[in-house]
Amino acid sequence: MEDVIAVIVRDAPAEKPRRAFRLPGWEGALFILGLLALWQGVSSWGGLPNPALFPSIPAVLRALRLSLPELLKGTWYSFLILVPGYATAVALGVLWGLLVGTTGWLRRAFSPFARAAAPVPPTVYIPYAIALLPTFRVSAIFVVFVGAFWPVFVNTAAGAAGMPGRHRDNARILGLSRCSYLRRVVFRAALPHIFAGMGVGLALSFILLTVAELFGANAGLGHFVQYYADFADYPRMAAGILYTGAVTLLSMGLLELARRRALFWVR
């Protein structure tokens, strides 16, 4: 009897799954619309103790339009800090991570220092870096570098150390040099981990950049927000926050696009 049931189940035509009509990304759009409606409702409510702290959406959009030239100039200034610090962190983090991840004695020597230094919040270095280094830009680049280096290094070293052993054996059979082995085998095998570390490092870089600019910059996105907050111009302050979020989102999207192109086999 069980055999007959098994044959019937096996030969029965499979029921086609029902496809629900869905618009791509509609959930996210609905969530954003809900936040905007909540924002407008709060700003329109007459019972707020200090209504000036909650500017309406039209007021913020008007401030954003009027402040756009200043924000674009601040973006250029901020990227003069972000790009050198982040690019240096990625280059050194990937190189050092590949070496540490594939060299046993180097991993044993560097791991205690990494465990002690990596968890330290990079923001604690900001006052000391500003006092020690010659200019604010150099100190801010250093803080961005420290914040982005550790995620890139840790993920790269983990990817290099976790590479399958057959890759090492094949490279040894082919007689690859140390440099070719790291570049052609280890680097490509660790790419998914490298991009994961780059994503975390980029997000931290924007956070540290903004915090550093709040301390002593005379231009930049963080300075824009702090400047208008000091003058209680909350529509411009909110416009600066929204603009900074849009720049960060665009940068993270470009990095994600690069990751998809480089890791076309990963879905």
The pTM for the full model equals 0.81
Give which of 100, 188, 83 is closest to 150, Cα–Cα: 100
Q: What is the pLDDT of residue 21?
A: 47
- Looking at residue 215, its pLDDT comes to 73
Listed in sequence order, the DSSP H helices in the chain are 2-11, 26-44, 57-102, 104-117, 126-132, 136-161, 165-174, 178-180, 187-189, 191-216, 221-230, 234-262
Decide if 180 contacts 198 (C-beta within 8 A): no
Phi, psi of 190 (to 5 degrees): -90, 0
Task: List pLDDT tens digits, range 99-118.
Answer: 988 888 888 888 888 888 88
Task: Identify the pLDDT of residue 46.
Answer: 65
**Interval 43-62 mean pLDDT:** 77
CA 145/CA 140 separation, integer angstroms? 9
Residue 84: the pLDDT is 94
Residue whose C-alpha is closest to residue 109's, from 72, 61, 65, 157 = 157
pLDDT of residue 116: 86
CATH superfamily of 74-262: MetI-like (1.10.3720.10)
Q: Which residue has the higher pLDDT, 185 or 151?
A: 151
Mean pLDDT along residues 36-60: 76
Per-domain residue ranges for the chain? Answer: 74-262
Tell me, what's the pLDDT at 54? Answer: 79
262 pLDDT above the threshold of 80: yes
Q: How many residues does the chain have?
A: 267
pLDDT (0 to 100) of residue 4:
40
pLDDT tens digit string along 189-248?
889 999 999 999 999 999 888 888 877 778 888 888 888 888 888 889 989 999 999 999
Residue 24 clears pLDDT 60, i.e. is over it:
no
Q: List the one residue out of 152, 127, 154 whose CA is nearest residue 140.
A: 127
